[in-house]
Every structure is written in C-alpha cells, then in structure tokens.
C-alpha cells in the first residue's frame, strides 16, 4: 500500500527509494471499513490521510443535527482538518469513510522531515494549498451566485465519477439543498436529457 503512495509522490516530485525509506516510518497503513469515522469534530488530531482506494467525506453537524458535506476525497486525495492538523485546535468537521478504504496515515513529522530531505517537497505542498484555495473560492462563488440546478451541474462536471458513488443525501448536503430538492432537480434535468 505504501507503494501506491510512493508512486504518487514520485509522479510529482523526484524522490529516490532511499529518501522514501527514511520517511516511511512516519507512515501508517490503514484498511478501514465503510462508515468509519477517522476524525471527530471538536477533537484535536494532527494526522493527514492519503486515500489509496476508497472514498472519504468531511462534514459538519449543526445545532439542529443536520449534516453538511464540506468536501469529498476519492483516490489520491489528501485529507486533514487544517484547524487540527496545522493549528492544533479542535477540528471543524468529521472525516468519515463512505466505502471500504485503504489509506496512508501521515504524521505531522512526515512533513517536516520531507521538507528537509526533499527540496521540492515544500514548494509542491504550497502548490496544493494554492490549488485548494482557488477551488474553494470557486465554490463560494457558486454558493453565492448560482441556484440548485447550476450547482448540481457543476458538481457532476467536477466529479463525474463520484456522482454514482456518493448517496444523493450527501450530494444534496454538499450543494446546500435538501435531498428532496436534489431529486426534483434531477427530474427536471432528466426530462431535458440529463
């Protein structure tokens, strides 16, 4: 399983097998059943997960008990709660598996070691952060500007292969609408020929 992570790493930044071996002790393989909670809301956990296979969702629960999907993470995504991982404060959301998932648990130490060992590591992580910021800005703009149908169309365009792996209830909560509304949106789109 670590090999998947190694290959992924080597795809983006030059990493020798020796370098990887030195970092390897900071990595833990986990095979996790569907519907397992990896990070609890309001707890402190500084680990990051790399998804080898499977699917993860991050979500919050509001005071009414309603869930709101913050993001989904399929294969080759990094998952953490910045509040907890970076700032050592209570996490803002839950992180949970939606499928049986193989993942690599990465300690905070890994980042520090990797930054020293591999010169390209830190800049690459910076790029990932920038990417995530522009992604979120796009999403905020959609939530402000577009209505349900547009948001759903954007979702299936962005994640064409996830639409059928994620329950509609959760897609609805990602879009900020109820499952009923999503169902109606889908009905309208179906008459238009998707």
Sketch the per residue contact string, 47 through 86, with a second copy: x for CB under 8 A, - otherwise. Answer: -------------x-x---x-xxx-----------xx--x
Gap between the terminal Cα atoms of the chain: 38
Residue 92 interacts with, from DNA, a second copy, none (CB under 5-8 Å by kind): a second copy
Q: Footprint of a second copy on residues 4-23 (CB under 8 A)?
A: none
Sketch the per residue contact string, 118 through 147, with DNA: x for CB under 7 A, - otherwise. Answer: -----------------------------x
- Decide if residue 28 touches a second copy (CB under 8 A): no
- Decide if residue 162 touches DNA (CB under 7 A): no
Task: Please give the C-alpha separations between residue 42 and each of 63, 67, 92, 178, in angstroms, as whole numbers.
Answer: 13, 15, 6, 25
Report, in Å, the least distance between residue 100 CB and a second copy.
27
Q: Footprint of a second copy on residues 175-194 (CB under 8 A)?
A: 176
Longest dimension (CA), the chain: 57
Q: Which of 9, 186, 189, 191 binds DNA (CB under 7 A)?
A: 186
Token digits of residue 184: 């109606």
Q: Which of 63, 134, 187, 192 binds DNA (CB under 7 A)?
A: 187
Report, in Å, the least distance between residue 39 CB and DNA.
20
177 contacts: CB under 8 Å, gap ≥ 6: 148, 151, 185
Q: For strands 27-32 and 78-79, give the pairing.
A: unpaired
Sheet holding 94-97, edge to edge: 37-39, 94-97, 56-61, 67-73
Burial of 27 (0-12, 13-18, 19+ CB in 10 A): middle
Torsion of CA 43, 80, 145, 154, to 10 degrees: -130
- Decide if residue 113 touches a second copy (CB under 8 A): no
- Decide if residue 168 touches DNA (CB under 7 A): yes
Torsion of CA 83, 88, 93, 97, to 10 degrees: 110
**Residues near a second copy, by CB under 8 A:** 60, 62, 66, 68-70, 82-83, 86-87, 92-93, 122, 125-127, 129-134, 136-141, 143-146, 173-174, 176
**Residues near DNA, by CB under 7 A:** 147-149, 167-169, 176-187
């Amino acid at each position: 399983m670590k090999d998947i992570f190694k290959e992924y790493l080597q795809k983006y930044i030059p990493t020798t097998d020796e370098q990887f071996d030195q970092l390897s002790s900071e990595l833990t393989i986990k095979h996790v059943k569907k519907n397992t909670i990896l990070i609890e809301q309001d707890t402190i956990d500084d680990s990051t997960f790399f998804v080898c296979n499977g699917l993860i969702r991050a979500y919050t629960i509001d005071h009414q008990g309603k869930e709101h999907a913050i993001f989904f993470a399929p294969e080759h995504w990094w998952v953490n709660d910045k509040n907890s991982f970076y700032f050592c404060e209570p996490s803002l959301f839950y992180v949970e598996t939606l499928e049986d998932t193989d993942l690599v648990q990465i300690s905070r130490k890994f980042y520090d070691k990797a930054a020293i060992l591999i010169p390209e590591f830190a800049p690459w992580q910076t790029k990932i952060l920038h990417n995530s910021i522009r992604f979120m800005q796009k999403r905020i703009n959609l939530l402000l500007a577009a209505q349900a149908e547009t948001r759903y169309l954007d979702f299936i365009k962005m994640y064409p292969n996830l639409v059928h792996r994620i329950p509609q209830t959760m897609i609805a909560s990602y879009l900020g609408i109820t499952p009923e509304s999503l169902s109606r949106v889908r009905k309208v789109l179906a008459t238009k020929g998707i």
